[in-house]
Structure 1
Amino acid sequence: MHNVLYTGAVSMGRLVELGDDGVDYTNGPFWLTDFIRGREVVPHGSFLHFLPLSARQALLQTFRTRVFNQDDLLPLTMEDQHVYIIITGCVRQDRFPRGGRREPRLTITRFRGTGQFVGEAKLIDSRSSASIRCLSRTLVIPLSVGDMNTVLRREPEVLLALLRSVEDRYRSDEEVYSLVACSPSKRVRSLLLHLAESVGMPGVGASKSVVIKGPSQGDIAAALQLGISTVEKELRALRHYGVVDSGYRKFYVRNLQALCELATET
């Protein structure tokens, strides 16, 4: 695993240069100073969204941050005793509810991004495990289970933010991933809209596009329990109408309003 450690000091300045890949990272949450001071907007419903600014500042200034590269796994096995706050990036979370049997058709796949708290089950059961793979370069705050439980006991507002974010995430998951009675078109469009709102970054230049960096068509298919050919078919339709383009592990939402209308139409 290749990673870089940073301290959470306000004087850090710019944290990460990710290169020229069609995303304007200067508009994303890569200036820790702005993130600490609340000048960066985090996605609605996330843990950091519900966390009061003073508590966010305390967490980011007290604990170290860590960068994981694309395809790295967050250490969340039964032996690892850490939880993570995602500062930026996109991860794929896989759970295996049938006694740990890692079969694709029995796997529950979800995407998590900026502001989300992951690994929370370890706060209750240290034996809990999940597979969380970084789909893009990902900046996180790792906290030991002991440290986080201490924070939760001492800071009711942090506990409340965590509870609110978990409830919001459950509702969002139901709205996005549980549309099994809906057509593949609606399911793919709803997931792309969700990703645009939760992990999307502004495109470069005068473009109003939103770039979803990390998930592949295979990841989309796994999350929705659809065939890859079905996902490809739906993406071709969106491309035909000028709504979404795709590249290697990237989706470019060219018309967010149109995608929203397509995803919400009955």
Structure 2
Amino acid sequence: MGAREISLSPTANAIASYSRQADLKAVDSILQAANAQAVTGFAGMPKSLVETKVQDLSAAGRSALADLARYVLPVSSLLELASVARYRVHPRGTSTLIRRTSGHVLFLIDGCALEETTDSQTVRLWRSGAVFGEQPIVHGFSPGSSRTNETRYLNFLSESRCLLIPRDKLRTLALSDPMTMLMISRIGMDRTNVIERLYTVTRKAPVSRVATLLDYLAGETTVMRPKTVENEEKQLVVKPMRNAIVEGPTQNDISEALTLGRATVERALGELRREGALLRFRKGERTNRVYEIADRDLLQQIARGG
């Protein structure tokens, strides 16, 4: 709904254009995988031959190689997945349906999405790196879970770049390649860990739960910036601060995801700004859907309950 299919996202141009530099980056990704998985059929293959294999891929396939390199897979599996992968960009405000019978597994490469399950009426926020639609592959081998039958909607809260891989291809690889099956299992474990850490009802204070969610959504976007602060001797010193920006969810989205009242979330955000974990916005600055982290270390301390 509203998505546009692309062969190459603008955000991936530096990695997967038709240029020679992009080819070399894709080759480097696949060679790293070969070094990590010496048991694959491509281990020990001359770099020139690997480069030829990569050049046979489309530009989207090369981009997929770079995006899938985080998963330690045999090179043969990486090449097979990259050859059938395609990208879609979903503008903010659009949505897509994820269900058991859909034909693709969706990897959220860039962006922020809100997952809504209609059966159990749960709402969860996800950052880049989240994967959707892989559960039927696992439960296809171990039937008995009814949760995979739930209808899930993904609402994209910012422009999001997604990688789509046919589920049948993943299932076939998982049956023949233990590392692919392990990757799928780890995706499920990571998802469970995030749900338990963020969305399971806890005794933490609301401000700690909001801080934990913002820290998760910020991902790896930390930027070091200097900031003038007072030390214990009341002297002004320059201290490096870890900053990041979370963009996409509204306060209402956070409220629904954490099952907290809207006023409770608003008070928690106000407290995080007073403590200095979040930046205070100047008059006239955009505040809706944007949360700029002023001090990542402090935010994580508050998330731990400190």
What is the DSSP-based 3-state SS (H/G/I as helix, E as strand, rest coil) of the residue aligned with 1:190?
helix
Distance 1:157 1:141 in 2: 20
Which position in structure 1 is the counterpart of 2:302?
262
Which position in structure 2 is the counterpart of 1:110?
124
Identity over the aligned pairs, expressed in percent?
22
Contact in 1 for aligned 2:127/2:216 (Cα 8 Å): no
Alpha-carbon offset, residue 202 of structure 1: 4.9
Contact in 2 for aligned 1:81/1:122 (Cα 8 Å): no
Contact in 2 for aligned 1:48/1:115 (Cα 8 Å): no
What letter corresponds to residue 295 of structure 2 in structure 1?
A: N
Alpha-carbon offset, residue 48 of structure 1: 6.5
Contact in 1 for aligned 2:108/2:161 (Cα 8 Å): yes
Taking a change above 3 Å as real, the CA distance of residues 5 and 227 of structure 1, as seen in their structure-2 partners, is same
Which position in structure 2 is the counterpart of 1:240?
274
**Cα deviations by residue, 1:106-142 (Å, 9 ceiling, x for unpaired):** 6222222322221223434785421111111111122
Taking a change above 3 Å as real, the CA distance of residues 230 and 78 of structure 1, as seen in their structure-2 partners, is same
Contact in 1 for aligned 2:96/2:154 (Cα 8 Å): yes
Distance 2:199 2:176 in 1: 35
Which position in structure 1 is the counterpart of 2:2?
2
What letter corresponds to residue 255 of structure 2 in structure 1?
A: A
Alpha-carbon offset, residue 58 of structure 1: 4.8
Taking a change above 3 Å as real, the CA distance of residues 59 and 87 of structure 1, as seen in their structure-2 partners, is farther
What letter corresponds to residue 117 of structure 2 in structure 1?
A: R
What letter corresponds to residue 258 of structure 1 in structure 2?
A: L
Of 142, 154, 170, 1:148 maps to: 170
Contact in 1 for aligned 2:207/2:271 (Cα 8 Å): no
Taking a change above 3 Å as real, the CA distance of residues 80 and 191 of structure 1, as seen in their structure-2 partners, is same
Contact in 2 for aligned 1:94/1:110 (Cα 8 Å): yes
Taking a change above 3 Å as real, the CA distance of residues 80 and 50 of structure 1, as seen in their structure-2 partners, is closer
Residue segments in structure 1 that go unaligned for 5+ positions in a row: 18-28, 40-46, 101-105
Distance 1:48 1:202 in 2: 21
TM-align CA RMSD:
3.2
Of 201, 204, 210, 2:244 maps to: 210
Which position in structure 2 is the counterpart of 1:24?
none
Moved more, 137-146 or 213-222: 137-146
- What does 1:46-85 correspond to in 2, within 5 Å? 49-52=70-73, 54=75, 55-56=77-78, 58-77=80-99, 80-85=102-107
What letter corresponds to residue 201 of structure 1 in structure 2?
A: T
Larger RCO: Structure 1 or Structure 2 (Cα < 8 Å, ≥ 6 residues apart)? 1
Distance 1:235 1:261 in 2: 15
Provide the TM-score with structure 1 as the length reference: 0.74
Number of paired residues?
233
Which structure: larger Rg? 2
Which position in structure 1 is the counterpart of 2:254?
220
Alpha-carbon offset, residue 237 of structure 1: 0.9
**Cα deviations by residue, 1:225-258 (Å, 9 ceiling, x for unpaired):** 0011110101011111221147221211111011
Distance 2:96 2:218 in 1: 23
